[in-house]
Amino acid sequence: MFDRLRPVWIVARRELIDQLRDWRILSPIILLTVLFPAIMNFTADRIVNFTIRYGADIVGERLIPFLLMMVGFFPVTISLVIALESFAGEKERGSIEPLLSSPLEDWQLYLGKLIAVMAPPLAASYMGIVVYLVGVYRELGWVAEPALLLQVLALTFMQGLVMISGAVVISTQTTSVRAANLLASFIIIPMAFVMQGESIVMFWGQYYALWWAVAGMGLIGALLVRTGIGHFNREELLGRELDVLNFGWMWRVFAKGFRGTSKNVADWYLRELPLTLREMRLGLVFMMLMFIGAFWVGKLLTGMFPIPSELLNLESINQVEVEGLDSIRLFSSASILPIFLQNLRVMVFAVILGLFSYSVAGILLMLLPFAILGYFGFLLAQGGLPIWQFFAVFVLPHGIFEIPAILLAGTAILRMGANLAAPALGKSITEGVLQSFADWAKIMLGVVLPLLLAAAMMEALVTPQIAIWLLTR
């Protein structure tokens, strides 16, 4: 095993030596290591003094860890250009042919390049964190708790892994540094949203939740590395001279994946759609297990966010007389279309999220309703309503249609991420994505949309009537 890893270190050492000889790479790293932490120290000092003056000490206390995280994040962002030009830049300069003709396996060459482009940004981030910690201690006497410092260091590494491995994937799939730089927005913008979420957690003071961010980004980073190795093809890298956006080819690939070998609509429903459903069996099992897990998480949340028992007294509801339900839009046929469109909008949004996160964010969005159901189901059980009755009345009437729809749509999103991470032999990333979209469209059009429409009708017309009857009898 170590003998097979030795070529990886040889490639990484070669790349690092070349980078350290280039002043255009060293200058920003040195400036970011010294200048940016100094700016953050100045900012922390001024804001802490300002908040103390007006009695908002907690804002200043929460700001210092946030700035610590930012000090680790920005050097990776600025140094992303090193990763973006790792393959595309060498191809433009004509220096990649000797490397690709070497007797190295694809994964050895790829990992060597990846390690080399990760080292300088991460070194700059960690040195910047040290400079910031020294400065903030001298100015304000603030010392980071060991657990918080470990979290920030882990977050910095995982953010670097995600961004840099994504940039290397882009570099292998483009023909020029300019194209790679333009595509870098697909890395920076999602990571900016992640940083916003992490900043909310840090200002809220719930630092333990950052471990979930570390785990999530670690998973996505590992999948990005797997994708890069799986799609790396040195012959294609040398042979591709120009990127062309061929909409006609894209449509043909999508249409072929959607239509399959069917000859008409009946043949599509009777043969092609069942074939796709059979291919999804393993993913469907995983989705069912994750839904059960989400429901159990909802139960655990009842202990973390309890509601006083006096607010859960269902006996008082029995004394309330409910009239005029027909005049309420929620309990009429007019609400069928809004409910249907809302569910459809969530599923489309889940696909978009899943495309940028290897299905992780999309699946989490699909799991959220089940966690909420678990939370309220066990809360009402504490108030005297049996949990089986809660599901039979509030969930089952429309859930017999909606839950299978969510399961199938979630499985299609899960397969999309799996196809990105483990491509089919001889298919490019674009072909894999188009095939995944075709499978998702088949499931949505053939099964999910009819189920969602039936669920919307039941949710608007049947479920509220049963719920009101139970609560007022």
Q: pLDDT tens for residues 154-202? A: 999 999 999 999 888 888 878 777 878 888 888 888 888 888 888 888 8
**252 and 165 housed in the same domain:** no
For the chain, what percent of residues have pLDDT higher than 90?
17
Q: How confident is the model at residue 428 (pLDDT cuts 50, 70, 90)?
A: confident
The number of folded domains in the chain is 2
pLDDT at residue 289 greater than cutoff 90: yes
pTM, whole model, 2 decimals?
Answer: 0.78
**127 and 265 housed in the same domain:** no
User: Do 36 and 75 contact (CB within 8 A), yes or no?
Assistant: yes
**201 and 276 housed in the same domain:** no
Calpha distance 50→73 (Å, rounded): 25
Range of the domain at 180: 2-239
**181 and 270 housed in the same domain:** no
**200 and 264 housed in the same domain:** no
* Percentages of the chain per state (helix, strand, coil), in multiples of 5: 85, 0, 15
Domain edge (last residue) among 239, 256, 281 = 239
Cα dihedral 339, 341, 342, 347 sign: positive
Calpha distance 101→324 (Å, rounded): 79
**226 and 308 housed in the same domain:** no
For 354, the 3-state DSSP assignment is: helix
**91 and 215 housed in the same domain:** yes
Q: What DSSP element (H or E) covers 253?
A: helix 247-259
User: Do 411 and 234 contact (CB within 8 A), yes or no?
Assistant: no
pLDDT recorded at residue 426: 65
User: Do 128 and 33 contact (CB within 8 A), yes or no?
Assistant: yes
Minimal CA–CA distance to 207: which of 257, 144, 296?
144
Radius of gyration of the chain (CA): 27
**142 and 277 housed in the same domain:** no
Helices (H), 328-359: 336-355
pLDDT digits (tens, 9 = 90+) for 102-112: 777 888 888 88
**397 and 368 housed in the same domain:** yes
**164 and 270 housed in the same domain:** no
* C-alpha distance from residue 167 to each of 75, 90, 392 (Å): 15, 15, 49
**428 and 308 housed in the same domain:** yes
DSSP 315: G
